[in-house]
Structure 1
Amino acid sequence: MSNSESESGRLNGAYSGPTEFANVVREALACAAREGWSSMVWSDANFADWPLGERAVVDSLNAWAGKGRQLLMLAHSYDALVRLQPRLVTWRKTWGHIIECRLCRSRDASEMPSALWSPHWAMQRLDVVRSTGIAGLEPQRRVMLKEELDECHRQSSPGFAASTLGL
């Protein structure tokens, strides 16, 4: 692994490959629960290869979720997530009041940032095909990533409802 960990256990540096990417996501969500991050933004074209359906990840999300927490999810499509990550879909229904899901159709799916951002730490997958990217505490990187995610949010519309209402 071509990275190091900070004092808090969060990845700080480069990562490469699908296994390392999944481990970065798992550790970030465990850290969010441990440290009580108030907010997170997740962004990806479809979240198909994020480990969001794993029991340990959902356990971390349950430990993180609570009063005052906010999660913003940005995607080009949620179809793969709904099909491949049933545990996350169930978790979304339970915690729908703290989660905002948005569709970013103004961008091509290949142009969607693949990232996990918090006010304390951020991860960005720079090459989605090879699952290579960088993570860390650097304020400048977090600010630049947040600006890109904010722009995507501004151009988005509601998507992936917590429940479907029908007759």
Structure 2
Amino acid sequence: MPNDDVISSLTEGRFDGREAFDAILRQALSAAAQQGWKEIVFSDPDFADWPLGERATIEALQAWAASGRRFMLLAQRFDILERGHARFVPWRRMWDHIIECRATGQATGAEVPSAIWTPSWFVHRIDPERSRGVSGSEPRARRALREAIDECWRRGRPAFPASTLGL
């Protein structure tokens, strides 16, 4: 479980803009690796503007990944992630045993939130187009975000396989 010093060092409150969101994501992955967070959830309609293909992101994910960890990816679709984040796809293949991916498709009745969720901290891009949102550790907000993610997860189906089998 992350200690209070690490949680307090994570960004809390409102953020505005792509650079701010990217910095928060990097900060979160660094904290996850340092503290050995057991679970991370990434949720977004398509992850098009997330910095998942950056070398630093993959290095942080690699430092975090270990047995007993769980990484959940939720999206409406994964094709943009597969095409646009070349470094992320091989990392995903290598760590398939700790990663679960689900896609909701377009007509689910619930919009996939753009968010990062952990058991102790969250980021929620309320306005993904402008990368505006809020982050923090407040339990009620964290619980509400997880409930929204879980609702979409239940409506989704397995997606973004580590490998494609065929003849």
Category of TM-score, reference length = shorter chain: over 0.9
Q: Which residue of 1 aligns with 2:57?
A: 57
**Which residue is equivalent to 1:113?**
113
2:87 aligns to what SS in structure 1?
helix
Corresponding residue for 2:161? 161
C-alpha contact (below 8 Å) 2:45/2:75 kept by paired residues: yes
SS of residue paired to 1:50? coil
Aligned to 1:73: 73
Matched ranges for 1:14-163 at <5 A: 14-105=14-105, 106-107=107-108, 111-163=111-163
Q: Deviations over 1:124-150 (max 9, x none)?
A: 000011100000111111100011111
Gaps of 5+ in 2: none
Of all paired residues, the percent bearing the same amino acid is 47
CA RMSD of aligned residues (A): 1.4
Unaligned ranges ≥5, structure 1: 1-5
3-state SS of 1:86 partner: coil
How many pairs are equivalent? 161
Counterpart amino acid of residue 97 in structure 1: H
Amino acid at match of 1:83: R
Given that 2:112 and 2:149 are in contact with CA atoms closer than 8 Å, whether structure 1 keeps it comes out as: no
Cα distance in structure 1, aligned partners of 2:121 and 2:13: 11
CA distance in 2, matches of 1:113, 1:102: 13
Match of 1:3 in 2: none
Listed one character per residue, the Cα deviations across residues 28-85 of structure 1 (whole Å, up to 9, x for unaligned) are 1111111111001110000010001111110000011001100111000111111110
After TM superposition, the score normalised by the length of structure 2 is 0.92
Instruction: Give the secondary-structure state (helix, strand or coil) at the position aligned to 1:129.
Output: helix
User: For residue 13 of structure 1, what is the aligned residue in structure 2?
Assistant: 13
CA distance in 2, matches of 1:50, 1:31: 18
**TM-score, normalised by the number of residues in structure 1:** 0.92
